A = this chain, B = another copy of it.
Amino acid sequence: MNKKYALAVSLFSIMGLAVADEGMWTIDNFPADRVAEKYDVEIDDGWLRSSQLATVRLENGCTGSFASPDGLVLTNNHCIWGCIRNLSSAERNLSDEGFMAASREQELSCPGQQVSVLIDLDDVTGKVTAATRALDDAEANEARKAALTDLETECEEAADGELKCEAVSLYNGGQYFIYKYKRYDDVRLVFAPEVDIAAFGGDPDNFNFPRWCLDMSFLRAYEDGKPASTPNYLRWRQGGPRLSEPVFISGHPGSTDRLLTMTQLKMQRDVVLPLWLLRNSELRGRMLAWQNTSEEAARTVQQRIAGLENAIKVRRNQLKALQNDSMLAMKDKQERELRAAVAADPDLSAAYGDAWTLIEDAVDTHRNFYEDHLFIENAAAFNSELFNYARTIVRGTAERERPNNERIRAYTDAALPQVEQNLSAKRPIDKEYETLSLTFSLEKMREWLGPDSKYVHAILGKESPEGLAARLVSGSQLEDPDFRTALWDGGVDAVKASEDPMIRLALDIDPEARALRQQFENDVEAPLTRGEEMIADARFQIYGSDTYPDATFTLRITYGAVEGWEEKGELVDPFTRTSRLFERTTGQRPFMLPDSWTAAREALEPDTPFNFVATTDITGGNSGSPIVAADGNLVGLAFDGNIHSIAGDYWFDPATNRTVGVDTAIMLEALKTVYGADHLVKELTVVD
């Protein structure tokens, strides 16, 4: 790797050159030497491999870890709210009541839930680069996708169906990999505490610390109807982590934006985030008011509200981060220095000098049809689970007819099993809520595209958003998995013949939606991808490879230590204790304890550590990640970051960015003392 520029640029912090505990490191590039130097602990390949095989990805966007040899998966409570909602009914609210299977026979299947373990990975950068050489941007974009689809198919065929293969772009296209997963698609609910203790403090305390959340749950992976055998699991340390102890988090951070250019950051700040926040703040208001109309309504939206409020808090603080002029100036300086380094060398300049202009033009182009693309192709106009089914069926049946490597990548042969599992999964749909949310999104479409937009005319005609939504939702049969499967199996002809109004809408709008998709791919994605690849290559040339890529919902390891931080001149203690939980209770949600905890108050040890913070670098998708000590033992469960961690989307501030985790000590004590879960305690603490 060419490092001739290293000295000239060594003064500024770029991803991977940071001195602090920054970095969501790929498994093949973990900076063990740096960790050894800073923390005096050795992380060898065996350690990393064990950690990798004990970590699972929840395909709905979280992480978990094996906690016993029998497929027991520890993850957050908030990671399985979808499952909990799907298993609840008007008679039985598992969110409020919690759930514990007294035996394995009582474990409840989570509809559509999948977990995966990363087994292996192949660097295919050379193959992808070869496939796109000498093509123009739009052609290269298509050729790249075709190559990735082919590589996935080859991989799955070579594995004889035993592995799921997924192409991954790292460093914004600087590297391409095929990641190989073992996937479990029979996943059952074992244990979930009541939401009032899992999410104690609710939205007000979300991203806050000090904190008292038992945000844990257990699932179990099954194979062939039996608990999966998972010899690579994490041993439970009963005492939790020590102050200042080095800790490691393996998991699947969803996405970060640390490599974005200034142009792209401003697009986020000025267009993407404000539009998202305005729309979703209104939706939040509609849900909050609607939940008061009936108990059933409250149950239907309870978790959706929590999820939405979380997302709003994230984006609101992302926006705040991007409004921080001094941080933005720092990013600007870094960008100008990189550009100057490129410009100073004729070869680099010739190869990469145009990258920033390319991206600027692509972003300008995107701005001009951002709303059209968002509402019509990205379906922001159709905030409806029934529409999602309809779009999947309409698109999927059509795409299936095409050669595998020419399809939209969501419908390749490698992707179809998951699509089909989703279509056939039985999930309750509340039609009143569906109507509310579809009405909302159609109204927002009309608001943002304008009543005279051709898309608005095509979709609404002379109907009101409310009238159209009511007609579509009440007329559609798509809530029935058999109906969906029949259409899917019937293919294009069955779809075209269908009189289901939601299918008709998805069909009718599809040509225009696809045109917007094509426009986006050719005029935005293609030049952006090339520009980003150029910058990634320039970075490697100038800064070397001792760096980490933006998060991509693939396996990463981050390291750090259990340490507080300074907030407005006060040092924040990194641990909270059980006693304070009871003092903080008001008796009113979200500061209300479930009866089980009130009853157990005297029996609980007041000094037991509850939640704690660490300097590790994580983000959304890491929820449910194991927090592991250098000895390989599980000491905590990541479930959140502090408020400063949200700016981590754009930059890592070692002084303030903290992970928030549940201590293994309180998890074990709660299982024993509050829930009487002796069978789980035994499974967790078995000595092999």
Q: Which residues of A contact B (CB under 8 A)?
A: 201, 203-205, 208, 266, 269-271, 274, 277-279, 281-290, 293, 312, 316, 319, 323, 325, 436, 440, 446-447, 450-452, 462-464, 467, 586-589, 591
Are the CB atoms of B277 and A586 closer together than 8 Å?
A: no
Residues in B with CB closer than 8 Å to A282 are 281-282, 284-285, 288
Q: How many copies are assembled?
A: 2
Q: Is the interface of A mostly helix, strand, loop or mixed?
A: helix
Beyond the given pairs A204-B451, A286-B288, 5 more chain A to chain B contacts, judged by CB atoms under 8 angstroms and listed by A's residue number, are A208-B452, A278-B281, A282-B282, A283-B285, A285-B289
The distance in angstroms between the C-alpha atoms of A271 and B316, with both chains bound, is 11
- Shortest CB-to-CB span from A568 to chain B, Å, is 11
The distance in angstroms between the C-alpha atoms of A279 and B316, with both chains bound, is 11
- Shortest CB-to-CB span from A305 to chain B, Å, is 12
- Shortest CB-to-CB span from A525 to chain B, Å, is 24
Are the CB atoms of A463 and B588 closer together than 8 Å?
A: yes
Residues in B with CB closer than 8 Å to A208 are 450-452
Residues in B with CB closer than 8 Å to A436 are 289
Are the CB atoms of A462 and B587 closer together than 8 Å?
A: yes
The distance in angstroms between the C-alpha atoms of A267 and B338, with both chains bound, is 31
- Shortest CB-to-CB span from A57 to chain B, Å, is 32
The distance in angstroms between the C-alpha atoms of A435 and B358, with both chains bound, is 53
Residues in B with CB closer than 8 Å to A452 are 208
The distance in angstroms between the C-alpha atoms of A587 and B440, with both chains bound, is 20
- Shortest CB-to-CB span from A576 to chain B, Å, is 13
- Shortest CB-to-CB span from A570 to chain B, Å, is 12
- Shortest CB-to-CB span from A132 to chain B, Å, is 33
Query: What are 29 pairs between A and B in contact, CB < 8 Å?
Result: A201-B451, A203-B447, A204-B447, A204-B451, A208-B451, A269-B323, A277-B278, A277-B281, A278-B278, A278-B281, A278-B316, A281-B285, A282-B284, A282-B285, A284-B285, A285-B285, A285-B286, A285-B440, A286-B288, A286-B289, A287-B289, A289-B289, A462-B586, A462-B587, A462-B588, A463-B586, A464-B586, A464-B588, A464-B589
> For A279, A283, A290, A450, which residue has the most chain B Cβ atoms within 10 angstroms?
A290
Residues in B with CB closer than 8 Å to A323 are 269-271, 274
Residue of B nearest to A279 (CB): B281
Across the interface, A293 reaches (CB within 8 A) one of B284, B293, B316, B325, namely B293
- Shortest CB-to-CB span from A438 to chain B, Å, is 14
Residue of B nearest to A589 (CB): B464
With known contacts A201-B451, A208-B451, A319–B274 Cβ distance under 8 A = yes
Residues in B with CB closer than 8 Å to A446 are 204
Residue of B nearest to A323 (CB): B270
Residue of B nearest to A271 (CB): B323
- Shortest CB-to-CB span from A625 to chain B, Å, is 26
| 8 nearest A-B pairs in the assembled complex, by CB-CB distance | A285-B285, A289-B289, A464-B588, A281-B281, A282-B285, A285-B286, A270-B323, A462-B586
Residues in B with CB closer than 8 Å to A467 are 588
Are the CB atoms of B450 and A204 closer together than 8 Å?
A: yes
Residue of B nearest to A293 (CB): B293
Residue of B nearest to A449 (CB): B204
- Shortest CB-to-CB span from A90 to chain B, Å, is 20
The distance in angstroms between the C-alpha atoms of A451 and B201, with both chains bound, is 9
